Structure 1
């Protein structure tokens, strides 16, 4: 099992953050497009190679996010039409997310087997998520999916604050 930590800076306008290992060594870098349309987030490894890309669909009635892993579209996250609590559907071949992903406490399953889990670290400055990778062959997918879920949450909260 491999443990990684996604740590975001609290007042970062550049939309950049890192994914570190247990020894605080950089493993991945996440860079957002600040004023670009469509909104994207690139996930780069330590050799500066892109392993993941999250893109928000520009013109759609309900927000939709596309997640590419290693150059292939792997996951789609779509907001579902509801009147009360926001709900999103994750569409991916054999991939399921179980738990409370609004609180960043969930398991990632592939064909019914847990391949990773995420938990929020509560006593930290900024948002820090612990990502336990149980199937290291799925590491790029797991990291990309966790970053995408965080993007969806950030988009939802910015929409809520702009609308209310």
Structure 2
């Protein structure tokens, strides 16, 4: 991957038992803590900075045609993440941000092997193949893209996939 990317390391199957976990940078340094509140009705998770302050959150919309998750950064709505209705041959999710710069996740989402594109240009990628640990995956984010938006969207996707996209 290009040098203008930052890598973050996240455990796979994040919410299988509802535990909390840390997001690490490429050096293994903790950069965020995620409080997995999966037993809540809205499947809400909170991303905290190193001081324990909430910097972002992800929660499921209770009333929606298809699973829809809202990503909030600094208390403001940053995006809605939802599966596209008809996507033959591969999984696709849209990351609907305010304005015209929506992002799209596509690839093998169940295996956490996918890319995130904005306007047809790859801005992030997620892969288990980059790491030898079987319960982790790497998220590489292009410089200039808000890592909280991408990490929040990855968490929303994980929540949706663990619930089952038909729920």
TM range (shorter): 0.7 to 0.9
Q: What's the TM-score, normalizing by structure 1? A: 0.76
Secondary structure (helix, strand or coil) at the match of 2:66 reads coil
How far apart, in 2, do the equivalents of 1:91 and 1:61 lie? 16
- Specify the alignment match of 1:162 in structure 2: none
SS of the counterpart of 2:158? helix
**Following superposition of structure 1 onto structure 2, how do residues 1-164 of structure 1 map, counting pairs within 5 Å?**
1-8=5-12, 13-60=17-64, 62-79=66-83, 89-93=93-97, 94=101, 95-121=103-129, 123-126=132-135, 128-156=136-164
TM-score, reference length from structure 2: 0.75
Alignment check: 8 A CA contact 2:83 2:94 kept: no
| Count of aligned residue pairs for this structure pair | 157
Q: CA RMSD in A?
A: 3.0
Please state which structure has a larger fraction of its residues in helix.
1
Q: Which blocks of at least 5 consecutive residues in structure 1 are unaligned? A: 160-164
| Per-residue CA distance 1:26-61 (angstroms, 9 max, x = gap) | 111111224322220111121223222111122445
Unaligned runs of 5+ in 2: none
- Structure 1 residue 87, shift from structure 2 partner: 5.9
